[in-house]
A and B are shown apart, each in its own frame.
Chain A
Amino acid sequence: NAGVTQTPKFRILKIGQSMTLQCTQDMNHNYMYWYRQDPGMGLKLIYYSVGAGITDKGEVPNGYNVSRSTTEDFPLRLELAAPSQTSVYFCASSYRGGPNTGELFFGEGSRLTVL
């Protein structure tokens, strides 16, 4: 029972490099999300998707891009990495109506450091 799987778990990038954080869920959830977690700051929503082919910006989308070509996958792309993007990134998913019940399922996180 995999749930939400994120890769990689850890990554160090140089300023200006690009990378993609992968996220896959096997629960057939419609809704998927990317959050970032900064120390002492809680979680901030970067992007979300309500289904394949549909994505929208969250609170802090600048410097990121997403795509949702399948129900299962929701990769997060970082273009031109900056030190301000050093954070822990969490992917999450929920079933239709899940946000209103708060039942999000989270991956284990990806710790990204930009030097």
Chain B
Amino acid sequence: GDSVTQMEGPVTLSEEAFLTINCTYTATGYPSLFWYVQYPGEGLQLLLKATKADDKGSNKGFEATYRKETTSFHLEKGSVQVSDSAVYFCALSDQNSGGSNYKLTFGKGTLLTVNP
């Protein structure tokens, strides 16, 4: 079945540091890939997405490129801020898995803490 594997956290960085959070996936069909962010005490929000190979999703300075050859969708940001402290979830939606296409499969989440 479908699965998403994220790098283990927590990740602690200083402000203005470069961020990478690794995400790899397994899917039987042609998945769309997403990054969600969960700020403290809130629900998840869609951060960015990519729907086909080589697409790059971007939002709020974050980027991720859909790499089919390595089945990866790593999240990057060139200069993090304290306000980026949150839990980040990689997720996929596989339209052609043969099963339900009504759900997202989430990774376990990576806690990012950015210190001033």
Main secondary structure of the interface of A (DSSP, over half): mixed
Q: Check if B102 sits within 8 Å of A31, measured CB to CB.
A: yes
- A42 CB contact (under 8 Å) in B33, B51, B106: B106
Q: Check if A108 sits within 8 Å of B103, measured CB to CB.
A: no
The verdict on B45 contacting chain A, using a C-beta distance below 8 Å, is yes
Q: Check if B89 sits within 8 Å of A42, measured CB to CB.
A: yes
- Which residues of A are found within 8 Å of B102, using beta-carbon distances? 31, 48, 50, 56, 99
Most buried by B among A56, A92, A102, A106: A102
Chain A 13-53 near chain B by CB (<8 Å), digits 1 or 0? 00000000000000000010100000011110100101000
- A102 CB contact (under 8 Å) in B4, B32, B42: B32
- Which residues of B are found within 8 Å of A33, using beta-carbon distances? 103
Q: Check if A106 sits within 8 Å of B51, measured CB to CB.
A: no
Q: Check if B109 sits within 8 Å of A102, measured CB to CB.
A: no
Query: Quick one: which of A84-115 are within 8 Å of B by CB?
Result: 90, 92, 99-104, 106-109
Expressed in whole angstroms, the minimum distance between the Cβ of A62 and any Cβ of chain B is 17
Q: Check if B103 sits within 8 Å of A102, measured CB to CB.
A: no
Query: Quick one: which of B13-41 are within 8 Å of A by CB?
Result: 32-34, 41
Give A109 to B43 CA distance when docked, in angstroms. Answer: 6
Q: Check if B44 sits within 8 Å of A102, measured CB to CB.
A: no
The verdict on A58 contacting chain B, using a C-beta distance below 8 Å, is yes
Closest 3 CB pairs of A and B: A106-B43, A102-B34, A42-B108
12 cross-chain CB contacts under 8 A:
A4-B43, A33-B103, A43-B104, A48-B103, A50-B102, A56-B100, A90-B43, A92-B43, A99-B103, A102-B104, A104-B46, A106-B45
